[in-house]
Amino acid sequence: MAHFIRNALGRVFVAFSSIRIESSLPTRLVLNVNGSSLTIDKPSQTIASSRQPIARFSAIEFIEIQQWQNGKGYQWWVVNLRVAGDGCLRVGRTVNDAQASIAAAHLGTITGKEVRVQRKWSAV
């Protein structure tokens, strides 16, 4: 499954500029990531994009927020699902720290996975 996730990343996701909660129920979370929907379904234990399953909860090790900053002081946040075998499924990115934190918290709650924060630096 992790190999499929890595391949799906390139086909399904691009660099997003917003992550918003479209709907949140105890058993289902729908994120709007720059106009595309990502559905996290607790009963089926799956995450889907455009109704295509892209990950099972069991493959996710933790939810990650990466805080990026470049030499010019510009900051952005990336929300990832870290999967077994050092795999990474990017949920999206935003320049709004609250959007990233709220989305990651909801992802952690519905999947039962821990949320971790990591700081990164970019030369550009």
pLDDT at 30: 96
Structural domains present in the chain: 2-122 (2.30.29)
Q: Are 38 and 48 in contact (CB under 8 A)?
A: yes
For 8-62, write each residue's pLDDT tens digit. Answer: 444 433 344 789 999 999 999 999 988 889 999 999 999 998 889 999 999 999 9
Q: Supply the mean pLDDT for the chain.
A: 84
Its sign, for the CA torsion 59, 41, 91, 93, is negative
**pTM to 2 decimal places:** 0.81
Strand partners for 47: 40, 55
What's the rounded Cα separation, in Å, for the pair 105 and 91?
A: 13
pLDDT at 70 (0 to 100): 82
The answer to whether the CB of 75 falls within 8 A of the CB of 67 is: yes
Residue 74 scores a pLDDT above 80: yes
Task: Give the percent of the chain with pLDDT over 90.
Answer: 59
Measured CA to CA, the distance from residue 90 to residue 74 in angstroms comes to 20
